[in-house]
Structure 1
Amino acid sequence: MTDIDARLLDREMKKGSAELIVLSIVEGRARHGYEISKLIEQRSGGRLSFHIASLYPLLYRLEERGWLHGRWVEKPGERRRRFYELTPLGKQVLARQRDTWRSFVEAMDLITGEQHA
C-alpha cells in the first residue's frame, strides 16, 4: 500500500468513526473543542488527530442532532469557550454506536484473523 493509499484509508476510517470518537470523549464530562482534539490525539497514542477546522463542524452537527449540548463559558483572563456535553439522546446514540462498533470489530476479526491464514 502506498503512502497515499494509507492516508486515504486513514481519512475514510476516521470519517466513519468520528461521531463515536467525539461522543466517547465527552461522555465523562463537558469539554471544549481544543480539549477534545488533544484528548483524541493523546488517547490514541498519537495515531489519530482531528484538526480544529474539521472538528468544529462535526461538533455543530452533533449539537443540531440533539446528541450534544453546547454552552459558552467565560473565565476571567481567558477567552470564552464552548463546552459540549452529552444529552440523554446522545448517551443512547453512543451506546448503540459502541454496540455496532463491537460487532464490526468482531466480524473483521472473524474475516481477517490469523485462523484464516
Structure 2
Amino acid sequence: MNPQLKKGLLEFCVLATLKKEDSYGYQIIKDTSSVVEISDSTLYPILKRLEAQGEIESYRVEHNGRLRKYFHLTLAGQASIDSFLADWPAVMGIYTYIRECNND
C-alpha cells in the first residue's frame, strides 16, 4: 500500500480502536493487527501527533509495579472519525474512477 495513504488510514484505525475503549500502545497494535500492520516506531509518533492535536488524551495507570500510559479518545477525535466517515463516499468515487480507467 502507498505509504502516504497508509499513514492517514493508520491514524483513523488508532482513533477507532480508542473509541471502543481506552488502551495502551501494545494493545492498540494487537487490536489493529487483523486490519493493518503497525509497529511501535510507527504507532508512537501517531499517538504523539493525535495528542498534540487534541484528538486523544493520555493518563497513566500502575500495572505490575510499572506505570502504563493509556490513551483516551476526545470529542475532537470523535469528530475526526465522523469527518472521515462523511468523506468516504468521495473517496469511493475516486476509487471507482481509477478502477474504471484502469479497466479500459
Q: State TM-score, norm by structure 1.
A: 0.76
Measured at CA, do residues 81 and 13 of structure 1 come closer, stay the same or move farther in structure 2, by a change above 3 Å?
same
Q: State the distance in 1 between where 2:55 and 2:30 align.
A: 21
**Structure 1 unaligned regions, length at least 5:** 1-8
Tell me how many residue pairs correspond in the alignment. 103
- Cα shift at 1:105: 2.2
Larger strand proportion of the pair: 2
- The letter for the 2-side match of 1:100 is D
Secondary structure of 2:71's aligned partner: strand
8, 13, 25: which is aligned to 1:16?
Answer: 8
| Alignment RMSD | 2.0
**Residue 59 (str. 1) matches residue 70 (str. 2):** no
Q: State the distance in 2 between where 1:82 and 1:105 align.
A: 36
Q: State the distance in 1 between where 2:65 and 2:31 align.
A: 20
**Residue 39 (str. 1) matches residue 31 (str. 2):** yes
Q: State TM-score, norm by structure 2.
A: 0.84
**Structure 2 unaligned regions, length at least 5:** none
State the identity as a percent: 26
Measured at CA, do residues 97 and 25 of structure 1 come closer, stay the same or move farther in structure 2, by a change above 3 Å?
same
* 4+ aligned runs moved over 2 Å, structure 1: 9-13
Q: State the distance in 1 between where 2:60 and 2:75 align.
A: 20
